[in-house]
Structure 1
Protein backbone atom coordinates (compact mmCIF):
# COMPACT_ATOMS: atom_id res chain seq x y z
CA UNK A 1 0.00 0.00 0.00
CA UNK A 2 1.29 3.46 -0.94
CA UNK A 3 1.10 5.43 2.29
CA UNK A 4 2.52 8.75 1.06
CA UNK A 5 1.73 10.09 -2.41
CA UNK A 6 3.23 13.13 -4.13
CA UNK A 7 1.17 14.17 -7.14
CA UNK A 8 2.52 16.85 -9.48
CA UNK A 9 3.70 18.96 -6.53
CA UNK A 10 4.98 22.44 -7.42
CA UNK A 11 6.47 25.15 -5.21
CA UNK A 12 7.48 28.57 -6.53
CA UNK A 13 9.04 31.61 -4.93
CA UNK A 14 8.17 34.46 -7.29
CA UNK A 15 9.54 33.14 -10.60
CA UNK A 16 11.91 30.60 -9.03
CA UNK A 17 10.71 27.00 -9.31
CA UNK A 18 11.97 25.29 -6.13
CA UNK A 19 10.05 22.03 -6.49
CA UNK A 20 9.25 21.04 -10.05
CA UNK A 21 6.25 18.71 -10.58
CA UNK A 22 7.21 16.09 -8.01
CA UNK A 23 5.61 12.66 -8.43
CA UNK A 24 6.45 9.61 -6.30
CA UNK A 25 5.01 7.22 -3.70
CA UNK A 26 6.27 5.80 -0.41
CA UNK A 27 4.95 2.44 0.71
CA UNK A 28 3.58 1.80 4.18
CA UNK A 29 6.31 0.45 6.47
CA UNK A 30 9.12 1.65 4.22
CA UNK A 31 12.29 3.50 5.21
CA UNK A 32 12.68 5.92 2.32
CA UNK A 33 15.88 7.88 1.84
CA UNK A 34 15.65 11.34 0.27
CA UNK A 35 18.95 12.59 -1.11
CA UNK A 36 20.04 15.73 -2.86
CA UNK A 37 22.78 18.37 -2.81
CA UNK A 38 22.13 21.62 -1.00
CA UNK A 39 19.45 23.61 -2.81
CA UNK A 40 17.93 20.53 -4.46
CA UNK A 41 14.51 21.12 -2.86
CA UNK A 42 14.56 18.44 -0.13
CA UNK A 43 13.80 20.78 2.78
CA UNK A 44 11.04 22.52 0.81
CA UNK A 45 9.52 19.13 0.01
CA UNK A 46 9.55 18.12 3.67
CA UNK A 47 8.07 21.44 4.78
CA UNK A 48 5.20 21.05 2.31
CA UNK A 49 4.57 17.49 3.52
CA UNK A 50 4.46 18.76 7.11
CA UNK A 51 2.04 21.56 6.21
CA UNK A 52 4.58 24.29 7.00
CA UNK A 53 4.68 25.58 3.42
CA UNK A 54 1.80 26.08 1.03
CA UNK A 55 1.80 24.00 -2.14
CA UNK A 56 1.31 26.08 -5.29
CA UNK A 57 -0.18 23.18 -7.25
CA UNK A 58 -0.54 19.43 -6.98
CA UNK A 59 -1.10 17.59 -3.71
CA UNK A 60 0.46 15.35 -1.09
CA UNK A 61 -1.58 12.67 0.66
CA UNK A 62 -0.70 10.71 3.79
CA UNK A 63 -2.77 7.65 4.71
CA UNK A 64 -5.39 8.86 2.22
CA UNK A 65 -5.66 12.41 3.63
CA UNK A 66 -4.75 15.50 1.61
CA UNK A 67 -2.36 18.05 3.11
CA UNK A 68 -4.23 20.77 1.18
CA UNK A 69 -7.78 19.72 2.08
CA UNK A 70 -7.32 17.90 5.43
CA UNK A 71 -4.11 19.32 6.96
CA UNK A 72 -5.00 18.48 10.56
CA UNK A 73 -5.60 14.83 9.73
CA UNK A 74 -2.21 14.67 8.02
CA UNK A 75 -0.42 16.42 10.89
CA UNK A 76 -1.91 13.97 13.42
CA UNK A 77 -0.18 11.17 11.55
CA UNK A 78 3.25 12.78 11.20
CA UNK A 79 6.18 13.21 13.54
CA UNK A 80 8.90 15.62 12.40
CA UNK A 81 12.51 15.45 13.56
CA UNK A 82 13.90 18.69 12.10
CA UNK A 83 17.51 19.36 11.27
CA UNK A 84 17.53 22.38 13.58
CA UNK A 85 16.79 21.35 17.17
CA UNK A 86 13.17 22.05 18.16
CA UNK A 87 13.50 21.92 21.95
CA UNK A 88 13.33 24.47 24.75
CA UNK A 89 16.57 24.82 26.72
CA UNK A 90 14.73 26.30 29.72
CA UNK A 91 12.36 23.34 30.12
CA UNK A 92 13.29 19.92 31.47
CA UNK A 93 13.42 16.95 29.11
CA UNK A 94 10.06 15.77 30.46
CA UNK A 95 8.48 19.19 30.08
CA UNK A 96 9.71 19.44 26.50
CA UNK A 97 8.06 16.19 25.51
CA UNK A 98 4.95 17.05 27.52
CA UNK A 99 4.63 20.40 25.72
CA UNK A 100 4.57 18.72 22.30
CA UNK A 101 2.30 15.94 23.58
CA UNK A 102 -0.29 18.51 24.64
CA UNK A 103 -0.16 20.05 21.16
CA UNK A 104 -1.34 16.69 19.88
CA UNK A 105 -4.21 16.64 22.38
CA UNK A 106 -2.78 14.15 24.85
CA UNK A 107 -3.75 14.62 28.47
CA UNK A 108 -4.07 12.87 31.82
CA UNK A 109 -2.77 9.36 32.34
CA UNK A 110 -2.23 8.76 28.61
CA UNK A 111 -0.03 11.84 28.35
CA UNK A 112 2.24 10.69 31.19
CA UNK A 113 2.46 7.17 29.74
CA UNK A 114 3.40 8.43 26.29
CA UNK A 115 5.96 10.92 27.62
CA UNK A 116 7.64 8.21 29.71
CA UNK A 117 7.51 5.84 26.75
CA UNK A 118 9.19 8.34 24.43
CA UNK A 119 11.91 9.26 26.94
CA UNK A 120 12.58 5.60 27.69
CA UNK A 121 12.80 4.83 23.98
CA UNK A 122 15.55 7.42 23.41
CA UNK A 123 17.37 6.48 26.63
CA UNK A 124 16.65 9.70 28.52
CA UNK A 125 14.11 8.62 31.15
CA UNK A 126 16.71 8.85 33.92
CA UNK A 127 17.50 12.41 32.80
CA UNK A 128 13.85 13.45 32.51
CA UNK A 129 14.13 16.21 35.15
CA UNK A 130 17.32 17.72 33.69
CA UNK A 131 17.52 20.75 31.42
CA UNK A 132 18.69 20.26 27.83
CA UNK A 133 21.38 22.86 28.52
CA UNK A 134 23.17 20.14 30.53
CA UNK A 135 22.93 17.62 27.66
CA UNK A 136 25.49 16.71 25.03
CA UNK A 137 24.68 17.37 21.37
CA UNK A 138 23.74 13.74 20.88
CA UNK A 139 21.38 13.75 23.87
CA UNK A 140 19.65 16.87 22.52
CA UNK A 141 19.16 15.09 19.20
CA UNK A 142 17.62 12.14 21.03
CA UNK A 143 15.30 14.47 22.95
CA UNK A 144 14.31 15.96 19.59
CA UNK A 145 13.27 12.48 18.50
CA UNK A 146 11.29 11.89 21.70
CA UNK A 147 9.32 15.09 21.04
CA UNK A 148 8.45 13.79 17.56
CA UNK A 149 7.31 10.26 18.44
CA UNK A 150 5.34 10.55 21.71
CA UNK A 151 2.01 10.53 19.81
CA UNK A 152 3.02 7.31 17.97
CA UNK A 153 2.91 8.78 14.45
CA UNK A 154 2.40 6.53 11.46
CA UNK A 155 4.90 8.60 9.46
CA UNK A 156 8.17 9.93 10.88
CA UNK A 157 10.24 12.43 8.90
CA UNK A 158 13.88 12.64 10.00
CA UNK A 159 15.84 15.49 8.47
CA UNK A 160 19.58 15.10 9.15
CA UNK A 161 19.04 13.64 12.65
CA UNK A 162 22.73 12.80 13.25
CA UNK A 163 24.40 16.07 12.30
CA UNK A 164 27.32 17.01 14.53
CA UNK A 165 27.04 14.30 17.17
CA UNK A 166 29.39 11.72 18.66
CA UNK A 167 29.58 8.16 17.23
CA UNK A 168 27.85 6.57 20.24
CA UNK A 169 24.81 8.87 19.97
CA UNK A 170 24.78 8.41 16.22
CA UNK A 171 24.63 4.63 16.58
CA UNK A 172 21.86 4.99 19.17
CA UNK A 173 19.81 7.11 16.75
CA UNK A 174 20.35 4.73 13.84
CA UNK A 175 19.20 1.80 15.97
CA UNK A 176 16.21 3.89 17.07
CA UNK A 177 15.25 4.39 13.41
CA UNK A 178 15.38 0.63 12.82
CA UNK A 179 13.29 -0.03 15.93
CA UNK A 180 10.68 2.60 15.03
CA UNK A 181 10.37 0.97 11.63
CA UNK A 182 10.06 -2.50 13.22
CA UNK A 183 7.26 -1.10 15.38
CA UNK A 184 5.36 -0.09 12.23
CA UNK A 185 6.32 3.48 11.41
CA UNK A 186 6.93 4.57 7.84
CA UNK A 187 10.06 6.75 7.78
CA UNK A 188 11.44 9.39 5.45
CA UNK A 189 15.13 9.89 6.17
CA UNK A 190 17.51 12.52 4.83
CA UNK A 191 21.23 12.56 5.53
CA UNK A 192 24.55 13.76 4.15
CA UNK A 193 26.08 10.47 5.33
CA UNK A 194 25.76 7.95 2.51
CA UNK A 195 26.56 5.03 4.82
CA UNK A 196 23.44 5.85 6.87
CA UNK A 197 21.23 5.85 3.79
CA UNK A 198 22.71 2.56 2.60
CA UNK A 199 22.31 0.94 6.03
CA UNK A 200 18.75 2.11 6.73
CA UNK A 201 16.79 2.70 3.53
CA UNK A 202 14.95 0.16 1.42
CA UNK A 203 14.51 2.70 -1.40
CA UNK A 204 16.14 6.00 -2.26
CA UNK A 205 14.95 9.09 -4.12
CA UNK A 206 17.49 11.53 -5.53
CA UNK A 207 16.49 15.16 -6.04
CA UNK A 208 18.34 17.83 -7.99
CA UNK A 209 17.20 21.31 -8.99
CA UNK A 210 13.70 20.66 -7.66
CA UNK A 211 13.16 17.46 -9.63
CA UNK A 212 13.20 13.81 -8.64
CA UNK A 213 15.85 12.53 -11.05
CA UNK A 214 15.98 8.91 -9.87
CA UNK A 215 14.18 6.57 -7.49
CA UNK A 216 14.56 2.91 -6.53
CA UNK A 217 16.62 0.47 -4.52
CA UNK A 218 20.39 0.86 -4.61
CA UNK A 219 20.58 -1.94 -7.19
CA UNK A 220 17.89 -0.31 -9.36
CA UNK A 221 19.65 3.05 -9.19
CA UNK A 222 22.89 1.47 -10.34
CA UNK A 223 21.11 0.06 -13.39
CA UNK A 224 19.37 3.40 -14.10
CA UNK A 225 22.68 5.24 -14.01
CA UNK A 226 24.51 2.62 -16.08
CA UNK A 227 27.26 2.72 -13.51
CA UNK A 228 30.25 0.51 -14.14
CA UNK A 229 31.50 -2.46 -12.17
CA UNK A 230 35.18 -3.35 -11.92
CA UNK A 231 36.85 -6.75 -11.68
CA UNK A 232 40.49 -6.84 -10.59
CA UNK A 233 42.42 -10.03 -11.40
CA UNK A 234 45.73 -10.57 -9.59
CA UNK A 235 47.68 -12.90 -11.91
CA UNK A 236 50.99 -14.74 -11.84
CA UNK A 237 52.19 -13.37 -15.19
CA UNK A 238 51.05 -11.24 -18.10
CA UNK A 239 49.99 -12.46 -21.55
CA UNK A 240 49.28 -10.12 -24.46
CA UNK A 241 46.92 -12.55 -26.23
CA UNK A 242 44.82 -13.10 -23.10
CA UNK A 243 44.63 -9.35 -22.54
CA UNK A 244 43.51 -8.83 -26.12
CA UNK A 245 40.78 -11.48 -25.87
CA UNK A 246 39.49 -10.03 -22.59
CA UNK A 247 39.39 -6.54 -24.15
CA UNK A 248 37.38 -7.83 -27.12
CA UNK A 249 34.70 -9.49 -24.95
CA UNK A 250 31.34 -7.81 -25.76
CA UNK A 251 30.57 -7.19 -22.06
CA UNK A 252 33.94 -5.54 -21.38
CA UNK A 253 34.04 -1.75 -21.61
CA UNK A 254 37.69 -1.33 -20.68
CA UNK A 255 40.59 -3.62 -19.85
CA UNK A 256 43.92 -2.42 -18.46
CA UNK A 257 46.98 -4.27 -17.25
CA UNK A 258 49.19 -3.00 -14.42
CA UNK A 259 52.38 -4.98 -15.12
CA UNK A 260 54.20 -3.82 -11.97
CA UNK A 261 51.34 -5.00 -9.77
CA UNK A 262 50.60 -8.06 -11.92
CA UNK A 263 46.93 -7.11 -12.07
CA UNK A 264 44.36 -6.82 -14.83
CA UNK A 265 41.52 -4.37 -14.18
CA UNK A 266 38.38 -4.95 -16.23
CA UNK A 267 35.42 -2.57 -16.38
CA UNK A 268 32.32 -4.56 -17.32
CA UNK A 269 28.69 -4.07 -18.24
CA UNK A 270 26.01 -5.93 -16.32
CA UNK A 271 26.47 -9.48 -17.62
CA UNK A 272 25.97 -12.63 -15.51
CA UNK A 273 28.38 -14.69 -17.63
CA UNK A 274 31.26 -12.21 -18.00
CA UNK A 275 33.27 -13.43 -14.99
CA UNK A 276 33.08 -17.04 -16.13
CA UNK A 277 34.15 -16.05 -19.63
CA UNK A 278 37.14 -14.05 -18.40
CA UNK A 279 38.28 -16.85 -16.13
CA UNK A 280 38.10 -19.24 -19.11
CA UNK A 281 40.38 -16.92 -21.13
CA UNK A 282 42.98 -16.86 -18.34
CA UNK A 283 42.82 -20.63 -17.94
CA UNK A 284 43.12 -21.20 -21.69
CA UNK A 285 46.40 -19.29 -21.75
CA UNK A 286 47.74 -21.02 -18.65
CA UNK A 287 47.74 -17.89 -16.50
CA UNK A 288 47.60 -18.61 -12.78
CA UNK A 289 45.16 -16.53 -10.76
CA UNK A 290 46.00 -15.43 -7.22
CA UNK A 291 42.98 -13.30 -6.37
CA UNK A 292 39.82 -11.72 -7.80
CA UNK A 293 38.41 -8.49 -6.35
CA UNK A 294 34.95 -7.29 -7.34
CA UNK A 295 34.53 -3.53 -6.91
CA UNK A 296 30.86 -2.58 -6.95
CA UNK A 297 29.72 1.00 -7.52
CA UNK A 298 28.85 2.76 -4.27
CA UNK A 299 26.09 5.25 -3.56
CA UNK A 300 28.51 8.17 -3.31
CA UNK A 301 29.87 7.74 -6.83
CA UNK A 302 26.39 6.98 -8.13
CA UNK A 303 25.11 10.25 -6.65
CA UNK A 304 28.03 12.20 -8.10
CA UNK A 305 27.39 10.71 -11.52
CA UNK A 306 23.69 11.62 -11.46
CA UNK A 307 23.93 15.15 -10.05
CA UNK A 308 27.45 16.20 -10.97
CA UNK A 309 27.96 17.22 -7.33
CA UNK A 310 29.01 15.57 -4.11
CA UNK A 311 26.31 15.22 -1.46
CA UNK A 312 28.16 17.52 0.94
CA UNK A 313 28.76 20.29 -1.62
CA UNK A 314 27.80 23.70 -0.26
Structure 2
Protein backbone atom coordinates (compact mmCIF):
# COMPACT_ATOMS: atom_id res chain seq x y z
CA UNK A 1 0.00 0.00 0.00
CA UNK A 2 2.89 2.38 0.77
CA UNK A 3 4.36 1.82 -2.71
CA UNK A 4 0.99 2.58 -4.29
CA UNK A 5 -0.22 5.60 -2.41
CA UNK A 6 1.60 6.89 0.66
CA UNK A 7 0.73 10.53 1.29
CA UNK A 8 3.17 13.08 -0.08
CA UNK A 9 3.60 14.95 3.21
CA UNK A 10 7.40 15.16 3.59
CA UNK A 11 7.33 12.33 6.14
CA UNK A 12 8.59 8.88 5.21
CA UNK A 13 7.55 7.69 1.75
CA UNK A 14 5.37 9.13 -0.96
CA UNK A 15 3.63 6.52 -3.07
CA UNK A 16 3.55 6.77 -6.85
CA UNK A 17 -0.19 7.48 -6.94
CA UNK A 18 -0.15 9.60 -3.79
CA UNK A 19 -3.26 11.60 -4.76
CA UNK A 20 -5.50 8.55 -5.15
CA UNK A 21 -8.80 9.40 -3.46
CA UNK A 22 -9.53 5.88 -2.24
CA UNK A 23 -7.63 2.64 -1.66
CA UNK A 24 -9.13 -0.42 0.04
CA UNK A 25 -7.50 -3.60 1.28
CA UNK A 26 -9.36 -6.91 1.30
CA UNK A 27 -7.43 -9.35 3.46
CA UNK A 28 -7.20 -13.10 2.94
CA UNK A 29 -6.63 -13.55 6.66
CA UNK A 30 -9.52 -12.55 8.89
CA UNK A 31 -10.03 -12.79 12.65
CA UNK A 32 -11.60 -16.23 12.18
CA UNK A 33 -9.99 -17.92 9.17
CA UNK A 34 -8.08 -17.72 5.87
CA UNK A 35 -10.20 -17.33 2.73
CA UNK A 36 -8.62 -16.14 -0.52
CA UNK A 37 -11.75 -16.59 -2.63
CA UNK A 38 -13.77 -14.44 -0.24
CA UNK A 39 -11.13 -11.70 -0.35
CA UNK A 40 -11.08 -11.71 -4.16
CA UNK A 41 -14.88 -11.72 -4.33
CA UNK A 42 -15.15 -8.81 -1.89
CA UNK A 43 -12.62 -6.78 -3.87
CA UNK A 44 -14.55 -7.33 -7.10
CA UNK A 45 -17.90 -6.52 -5.47
CA UNK A 46 -16.44 -3.22 -4.23
CA UNK A 47 -15.17 -2.27 -7.73
CA UNK A 48 -16.65 -1.05 -10.96
CA UNK A 49 -15.47 -0.66 -14.55
CA UNK A 50 -12.27 1.40 -14.68
CA UNK A 51 -11.17 0.51 -11.14
CA UNK A 52 -7.88 -1.29 -10.54
CA UNK A 53 -7.42 -4.33 -8.31
CA UNK A 54 -3.96 -5.49 -7.20
CA UNK A 55 -3.45 -9.22 -6.57
CA UNK A 56 -0.62 -9.25 -4.05
CA UNK A 57 -0.58 -13.04 -3.83
CA UNK A 58 0.75 -16.26 -5.35
CA UNK A 59 0.03 -19.98 -5.19
CA UNK A 60 1.85 -23.27 -5.55
CA UNK A 61 2.41 -24.72 -9.01
CA UNK A 62 4.73 -27.50 -10.16
CA UNK A 63 6.55 -28.97 -7.13
CA UNK A 64 4.80 -26.30 -5.03
CA UNK A 65 6.90 -23.56 -6.70
CA UNK A 66 5.11 -20.23 -6.66
CA UNK A 67 3.09 -19.05 -9.65
CA UNK A 68 0.30 -16.52 -10.20
CA UNK A 69 -2.79 -16.88 -8.01
CA UNK A 70 -5.13 -17.48 -10.94
CA UNK A 71 -3.52 -20.90 -11.48
CA UNK A 72 -6.32 -21.81 -9.07
CA UNK A 73 -9.48 -22.43 -11.11
CA UNK A 74 -11.81 -20.43 -8.88
CA UNK A 75 -9.54 -17.38 -8.80
CA UNK A 76 -9.25 -17.57 -12.62
CA UNK A 77 -13.05 -17.66 -12.98
CA UNK A 78 -13.49 -14.67 -10.66
CA UNK A 79 -10.74 -12.77 -12.46
CA UNK A 80 -12.28 -13.40 -15.89
CA UNK A 81 -15.69 -12.23 -14.69
CA UNK A 82 -14.13 -9.05 -13.29
CA UNK A 83 -12.07 -8.15 -16.35
CA UNK A 84 -15.05 -8.86 -18.61
CA UNK A 85 -16.90 -6.21 -16.62
CA UNK A 86 -14.13 -3.64 -17.23
CA UNK A 87 -12.23 -3.97 -13.95
CA UNK A 88 -8.44 -3.93 -14.40
CA UNK A 89 -6.58 -6.59 -12.42
CA UNK A 90 -2.80 -6.40 -11.91
CA UNK A 91 -1.48 -9.77 -10.68
CA UNK A 92 1.87 -10.99 -9.36
CA UNK A 93 3.42 -13.78 -11.46
CA UNK A 94 4.86 -15.45 -8.35
CA UNK A 95 8.36 -16.09 -7.02
CA UNK A 96 8.79 -19.73 -8.08
CA UNK A 97 11.14 -19.44 -11.09
CA UNK A 98 8.50 -21.37 -13.01
CA UNK A 99 8.11 -21.39 -16.81
CA UNK A 100 4.39 -21.00 -17.47
CA UNK A 101 4.95 -22.29 -21.02
CA UNK A 102 6.04 -25.66 -19.62
CA UNK A 103 3.74 -28.56 -20.54
CA UNK A 104 2.89 -28.92 -16.86
CA UNK A 105 0.77 -25.76 -17.23
CA UNK A 106 -1.01 -26.82 -20.42
CA UNK A 107 -4.36 -27.24 -18.64
CA UNK A 108 -4.03 -23.76 -17.12
CA UNK A 109 -3.13 -22.21 -20.49
CA UNK A 110 -6.02 -24.03 -22.18
CA UNK A 111 -8.45 -21.94 -20.12
CA UNK A 112 -7.40 -18.89 -22.15
CA UNK A 113 -6.48 -15.43 -21.01
CA UNK A 114 -8.28 -14.23 -17.88
CA UNK A 115 -7.70 -10.60 -18.85
CA UNK A 116 -5.43 -9.90 -15.86
CA UNK A 117 -2.15 -8.03 -16.40
CA UNK A 118 0.52 -10.37 -15.02
CA UNK A 119 3.72 -8.92 -13.53
CA UNK A 120 7.20 -10.47 -13.29
CA UNK A 121 10.13 -9.29 -11.20
CA UNK A 122 12.91 -7.41 -12.99
CA UNK A 123 16.20 -5.94 -11.86
CA UNK A 124 16.53 -2.38 -10.59
CA UNK A 125 19.28 -1.75 -13.17
CA UNK A 126 19.01 -0.20 -16.61
CA UNK A 127 19.09 -3.70 -18.13
CA UNK A 128 15.69 -4.61 -16.64
CA UNK A 129 16.50 -8.31 -16.77
CA UNK A 130 14.48 -11.04 -15.10
CA UNK A 131 15.46 -11.82 -11.53
CA UNK A 132 16.22 -15.50 -11.01
CA UNK A 133 13.25 -16.23 -8.74
CA UNK A 134 10.56 -14.67 -10.95
CA UNK A 135 8.05 -16.93 -12.67
CA UNK A 136 8.08 -16.20 -16.41
CA UNK A 137 6.62 -17.14 -19.79
CA UNK A 138 4.37 -15.83 -22.53
CA UNK A 139 1.53 -15.25 -20.04
CA UNK A 140 3.62 -12.67 -18.13
CA UNK A 141 2.95 -9.23 -19.59
CA UNK A 142 5.14 -6.63 -17.86
CA UNK A 143 7.68 -6.27 -15.08
CA UNK A 144 8.39 -4.08 -12.09
CA UNK A 145 11.39 -3.78 -9.80
CA UNK A 146 11.72 -6.98 -7.82
CA UNK A 147 14.48 -5.72 -5.56
CA UNK A 148 15.44 -2.74 -3.41
CA UNK A 149 11.99 -1.13 -3.37
CA UNK A 150 11.58 1.02 -0.26
CA UNK A 151 8.34 0.36 1.58
CA UNK A 152 6.71 1.18 4.90
CA UNK A 153 6.23 -1.52 7.50
CA UNK A 154 8.24 -4.26 9.13
CA UNK A 155 11.97 -4.46 8.41
CA UNK A 156 15.33 -3.13 9.42
CA UNK A 157 16.28 -0.59 6.75
CA UNK A 158 15.40 2.31 9.04
CA UNK A 159 13.46 3.09 12.19
CA UNK A 160 13.01 6.63 13.44
CA UNK A 161 12.57 7.80 17.05
CA UNK A 162 12.12 4.15 18.08
CA UNK A 163 8.60 4.42 16.64
CA UNK A 164 7.14 1.25 15.11
CA UNK A 165 4.98 3.46 12.88
CA UNK A 166 8.13 4.95 11.33
CA UNK A 167 9.79 1.71 10.28
CA UNK A 168 10.92 1.08 6.68
CA UNK A 169 12.19 -1.89 4.72
CA UNK A 170 13.63 -2.78 1.33
CA UNK A 171 10.87 -4.87 -0.24
CA UNK A 172 11.48 -7.51 -2.94
CA UNK A 173 9.87 -10.11 -5.19
CA UNK A 174 6.95 -9.99 -7.55
CA UNK A 175 5.24 -8.51 -4.49
CA UNK A 176 7.25 -5.29 -4.91
CA UNK A 177 7.05 -5.40 -8.71
CA UNK A 178 3.27 -5.63 -8.86
CA UNK A 179 2.37 -2.43 -6.93
CA UNK A 180 4.85 -0.55 -9.14
CA UNK A 181 2.89 -1.63 -12.22
CA UNK A 182 -0.44 -1.01 -10.50
CA UNK A 183 0.72 2.52 -9.63
CA UNK A 184 1.54 3.17 -13.29
CA UNK A 185 -1.88 1.88 -14.33
CA UNK A 186 -3.62 4.14 -11.80
CA UNK A 187 -1.87 7.24 -13.13
CA UNK A 188 -2.45 6.32 -16.78
CA UNK A 189 -6.12 5.55 -16.12
CA UNK A 190 -6.55 8.82 -14.21
CA UNK A 191 -4.96 10.85 -17.01
CA UNK A 192 -7.06 9.22 -19.71
CA UNK A 193 -10.29 9.77 -17.76
CA UNK A 194 -9.44 13.43 -17.14
CA UNK A 195 -8.79 13.96 -20.83
CA UNK A 196 -11.58 11.91 -22.42
CA UNK A 197 -14.15 11.07 -19.74
CA UNK A 198 -13.60 7.41 -20.66
CA UNK A 199 -11.88 4.56 -18.81
CA UNK A 200 -9.37 2.33 -20.53
CA UNK A 201 -10.45 -1.30 -20.67
CA UNK A 202 -8.23 -4.06 -19.25
CA UNK A 203 -6.99 -5.01 -22.73
CA UNK A 204 -6.32 -1.37 -23.66
CA UNK A 205 -4.34 -0.84 -20.46
CA UNK A 206 -2.33 -4.01 -21.02
CA UNK A 207 -1.52 -3.06 -24.62
CA UNK A 208 -0.44 0.46 -23.66
CA UNK A 209 1.79 -0.76 -20.81
CA UNK A 210 3.47 -3.24 -23.15
CA UNK A 211 3.79 -1.10 -26.27
CA UNK A 212 5.14 2.00 -24.49
CA UNK A 213 7.28 0.18 -21.90
CA UNK A 214 11.07 -0.04 -21.60
CA UNK A 215 12.12 -3.38 -23.16
CA UNK A 216 13.31 -6.30 -21.06
CA UNK A 217 17.02 -6.98 -21.20
CA UNK A 218 19.15 -10.00 -20.38
CA UNK A 219 17.93 -13.47 -21.31
CA UNK A 220 14.83 -12.87 -23.41
CA UNK A 221 13.95 -16.57 -23.52
CA UNK A 222 12.66 -16.14 -19.95
CA UNK A 223 10.04 -13.53 -20.77
CA UNK A 224 8.63 -11.13 -18.20
CA UNK A 225 7.98 -8.21 -20.56
CA UNK A 226 8.86 -4.50 -20.47
CA UNK A 227 8.95 -2.08 -17.55
CA UNK A 228 6.04 0.41 -17.74
CA UNK A 229 6.97 3.94 -18.78
CA UNK A 230 4.30 6.32 -17.52
CA UNK A 231 5.59 9.32 -19.49
CA UNK A 232 5.66 7.38 -22.76
CA UNK A 233 2.17 5.99 -22.11
CA UNK A 234 0.75 9.46 -21.50
CA UNK A 235 2.46 10.82 -24.61
CA UNK A 236 0.89 7.97 -26.59
CA UNK A 237 -2.55 8.83 -25.22
CA UNK A 238 -1.96 12.51 -26.02
CA UNK A 239 -1.04 11.72 -29.62
CA UNK A 240 -4.00 9.40 -30.13
CA UNK A 241 -6.59 11.54 -28.33
CA UNK A 242 -8.13 12.83 -31.55
CA UNK A 243 -8.60 9.30 -32.82
CA UNK A 244 -10.01 8.14 -29.51
CA UNK A 245 -12.37 11.13 -29.37
CA UNK A 246 -13.67 10.50 -32.88
CA UNK A 247 -14.41 6.89 -31.99
CA UNK A 248 -16.21 7.98 -28.84
CA UNK A 249 -18.32 10.49 -30.76
CA UNK A 250 -19.27 7.94 -33.40
CA UNK A 251 -21.03 5.66 -30.94
CA UNK A 252 -22.80 7.03 -27.87
CA UNK A 253 -22.59 4.76 -24.81
CA UNK A 254 -25.39 2.36 -23.98
CA UNK A 255 -27.00 3.45 -20.70
CA UNK A 256 -29.05 0.97 -18.69
CA UNK A 257 -30.56 0.70 -15.21
CA UNK A 258 -31.13 -2.63 -13.45
CA UNK A 259 -34.12 -2.58 -11.09
CA UNK A 260 -35.13 -3.54 -8.48
CA UNK A 261 -31.68 -4.01 -7.01
CA UNK A 262 -31.48 -5.98 -4.74
CA UNK A 263 -34.17 -8.25 -6.19
CA UNK A 264 -35.92 -11.50 -5.23
CA UNK A 265 -37.72 -13.01 -8.23
CA UNK A 266 -37.49 -10.60 -11.15
CA UNK A 267 -35.29 -7.83 -12.49
CA UNK A 268 -35.81 -5.46 -15.40
CA UNK A 269 -33.41 -3.60 -17.70
CA UNK A 270 -34.37 -0.03 -18.47
CA UNK A 271 -32.53 1.85 -21.20
CA UNK A 272 -33.06 5.45 -22.20
CA UNK A 273 -33.49 4.55 -25.87
CA UNK A 274 -36.49 2.29 -25.22
CA UNK A 275 -35.12 -0.50 -27.40
CA UNK A 276 -34.42 -4.22 -27.28
CA UNK A 277 -31.11 -5.36 -25.77
CA UNK A 278 -29.36 -8.70 -25.43
CA UNK A 279 -28.35 -9.76 -21.94
CA UNK A 280 -26.12 -12.34 -20.28
CA UNK A 281 -26.07 -12.96 -16.51
CA UNK A 282 -22.90 -14.33 -14.88
CA UNK A 283 -22.35 -15.43 -11.31
CA UNK A 284 -19.22 -14.33 -9.46
CA UNK A 285 -17.44 -17.50 -10.58
CA UNK A 286 -17.69 -16.26 -14.16
CA UNK A 287 -20.30 -18.87 -15.11
CA UNK A 288 -23.11 -17.93 -17.51
CA UNK A 289 -26.42 -18.59 -15.72
CA UNK A 290 -28.96 -16.87 -17.99
CA UNK A 291 -29.15 -15.11 -21.36
CA UNK A 292 -31.72 -13.71 -23.74
CA UNK A 293 -33.15 -10.67 -25.49
CA UNK A 294 -35.57 -8.29 -23.81
CA UNK A 295 -37.36 -4.99 -24.30
CA UNK A 296 -36.87 -2.16 -21.83
CA UNK A 297 -38.80 -2.55 -18.55
CA UNK A 298 -39.77 -6.18 -19.24
CA UNK A 299 -39.16 -8.70 -16.45
CA UNK A 300 -36.34 -11.27 -16.34
CA UNK A 301 -37.08 -14.25 -14.10
CA UNK A 302 -34.25 -14.79 -11.57
CA UNK A 303 -36.26 -16.82 -9.05
CA UNK A 304 -34.19 -19.94 -9.73
CA UNK A 305 -30.85 -18.25 -9.03
CA UNK A 306 -29.15 -18.75 -5.64
CA UNK A 307 -28.80 -15.71 -3.42
CA UNK A 308 -25.68 -13.65 -4.10
CA UNK A 309 -24.03 -11.14 -6.43
CA UNK A 310 -24.27 -11.27 -10.22
CA UNK A 311 -22.96 -9.40 -13.25
CA UNK A 312 -25.33 -8.65 -16.11
CA UNK A 313 -23.87 -7.80 -19.53
CA UNK A 314 -26.26 -5.76 -21.73
CA UNK A 315 -25.35 -5.38 -25.41
CA UNK A 316 -26.71 -3.57 -28.43
CA UNK A 317 -24.57 -4.23 -31.46
CA UNK A 318 -21.07 -2.91 -30.66
CA UNK A 319 -22.19 -1.23 -27.45
CA UNK A 320 -21.91 -3.05 -24.13
CA UNK A 321 -22.43 -2.16 -20.50
CA UNK A 322 -21.91 -4.30 -17.39
CA UNK A 323 -23.81 -3.78 -14.15
CA UNK A 324 -24.00 -5.67 -10.86
CA UNK A 325 -27.14 -6.78 -9.05
CA UNK A 326 -27.89 -8.70 -5.86
CA UNK A 327 -30.30 -11.65 -5.66
CA UNK A 328 -31.71 -11.74 -2.13
TM-score of the aligned structures, taking structure 1 as reference length: 0.30
> Relative contact order: is structure 1 or structure 2 higher (C-alpha 8 Å, sep ≥ 6)?
1
State which structure, 1 or 2, has the greater radius of gyration over its C-alpha atoms: 1
Instruction: Tell me the TM-score normalised to structure 2 length.
Output: 0.29
- Tell me which protein shows more helix as a share of its residues: 1
